[in-house]
Amino acid sequence: MVRRIRLFGEDILRQRAKPVKAIDASVRRLIDDLVETMEDAEGLGLAATQIGVAKRVFVARDGDQILAFVNPTIVARHGREVGLEGCLSLPGLQGNVPRAKEITIRALDRAGRTISHTFTGLAARCCQHEYDHLNGVMYVDHTKDLFWLEAAAERVDLPEDDETSDHWVDEGGQSIQIVRVPTDIREITDYYAELIADLDLDAAGEHLLAEDDGTAPATDEVTEDISG
């Protein structure tokens, strides 16, 4: 099932997730939901806290396969490099973030077996990013080099090797230019606070409409039970 991805500023993203006590059907269903939600959002990884569940579980893509990690621990880190990151909980934003070049991570898989993987490159960066989420940490905590991705109002002539712009092709086949607009944590905080407020208003309106037609649920649960 595709779940709603929480946005920067929602409390659960700053919670330290709790260890999973036993891998049962509910945990395997959580893993399935993480995979489905990640693929629907075209992401590279997703942590349970990002869909409102404070359990130590995340999924990440490694090439053509998607791996699940339950109660993960990074047991080794080697090297250092700065690379570009985004986050499904911070849509429209990117930043240059320092990370270890190589990591070894130990966890349980969906069958409860102990696994150990060593990653480099993008997979290593993705796993560190998702592991941070389980500790209530986000990539904006590691860098001030942050910027919005915005469509240019008009073409901007930049040198071919300038990394402040990229080109995408929209659904109509028209080439558009995406520019990187520097920002700071205060502007970021204000922007997502407005998005969250709009979500709350939309949810309240839907609930009132449901009450009018008699389909409102008995309870309006916001986040999942985090026990276990």
Q: Over the stretch 103-152, which tens digit does the pLDDT of each residue have?
A: 999 999 999 999 999 999 999 999 999 999 999 999 999 999 999 998 77
Closest CA to 226 of 99, 42, 53, 71: 53
Residue linked to tokens 């595709």: 2
Active site residue 150: no
Question: Which of 169 and 105 is assigned the larger pLDDT?
Answer: 105
Is the CB of residue 102 less than 8 Å from the CB of residue 124?
A: yes
Beta-carbon contacts of residue 40 (< 8 Å; ≥ 6 apart): 2
What's the pTM value of the predicted model, to 2 decimals? 0.83
The catalytic position among 130, 160, 163, 206 is 130
Is CATH 3.90.45.10 the right assignment for the domain spanning 1-143?
Answer: yes
Beta-carbon contacts of residue 107 (< 8 Å; ≥ 6 apart): 69, 70, 71, 72, 73, 114, 115
> What pLDDT was estimated at residue 5?
98
pLDDT band, residue 43 (cuts 50/70/90): very high
Closest CA to 115 of 64, 69, 76: 69
Q: How far apart are CA 22 and CA 45, in angstroms?
A: 23
